[in-house]
Amino acid sequence: MDLFDMKGKVALVTGSTHGLGMSMAMGLGKAGATIVVNGNSSQQKIDDAVAQYNDAGIKAVGYKFDVSDESAVKKAVERIETEVGAIDILINNAGIIKRIPLEDMEVDDFKQVVNIDLVSPFIVSKHVVKGMIKRQSGKIINICSMMSELGRNTVGAYAAAKGGLVMLTKNMATEWAKHNIQVNGIGPGYFATSQTAPIRVDGHPFNEFIVNRTPAAKWGNPDDLAGAAIFLSAKASDFVNGHILYVDGGILATIGKPSNED
């Protein structure tokens, strides 16, 4: 399937040491891409993640840098392209969330969330796209969210950033399409990860809410994101640009069902 073959491609996935970022990167790696693992917590965590990719038969290398630090990003991109190869695929996945009611949130906390979740994808894309423009080829995927479309208590800063990321994605696509660069987004729904494990137990109110709110009546499996990432990174999506692909089990398709409905 040449449309989905990524042999010889280099994919930089920010925040790919664990969770959904790792799931998407694993998918690209199994499709043949070399994975550039990024994180900023510790070199040991990056090394451990690289070992997991290698154990899965995937060629991976790790680079520790802060995606919100433009100088660090510029240096890292230059190193990657010198030491690994031209970056063909960029997935802007790194992000944070702070669950604080807006009236109680400090301005510095609000700015930090926006800086990492919205400004950082701009910074990383700005430096990666220059090489893509020279080569007249490239794929960029920004990881959006259900909160790009829906509001929810205590996540105002995150929702503002992810909503802005949708429009940033569309504007990147508008400016760079003429260079044969496709920029799209993925909006994950609610997934079964180690972070959500405490609230996925039977009887937990939020678990019941998600199961009832999702037409698929279940949490997503992180591996479900791999197909979307492969599609938007591969030749198969060469005429798809400025699109946000929601992988949500149908949440955005419905207003939900009454609690007494089967």
Active-site positions read 158
Closest among 39, 40, 51, 48 to 13, alpha carbons compared:
39
The residues, any chain, with a CB within 8 Å of residue 169's CB and separated by 6 or more, are: 142, 144, 183, 184, 185, 242, 244
For 6, phi and psi rounded to 5 degrees? -120, 25
Closest among 47, 39, 41 to 12, alpha carbons compared:
39
Query: Does an H or E element contain 246, and which?
Result: strand 244-247
SS3 of 186, please? strand
Q: In what order do the strands lie in the sheet with 138-143?
A: 60-64, 34-39, 10-13, 89-92, 138-143, 181-188, 244-247
Q: Is 32 left (phi over 0), alpha (psi -120 to 50) or beta?
A: left
Alpha helix stretches (DSSP H) within 32-135: 43-55, 70-83, 107-114, 120-135
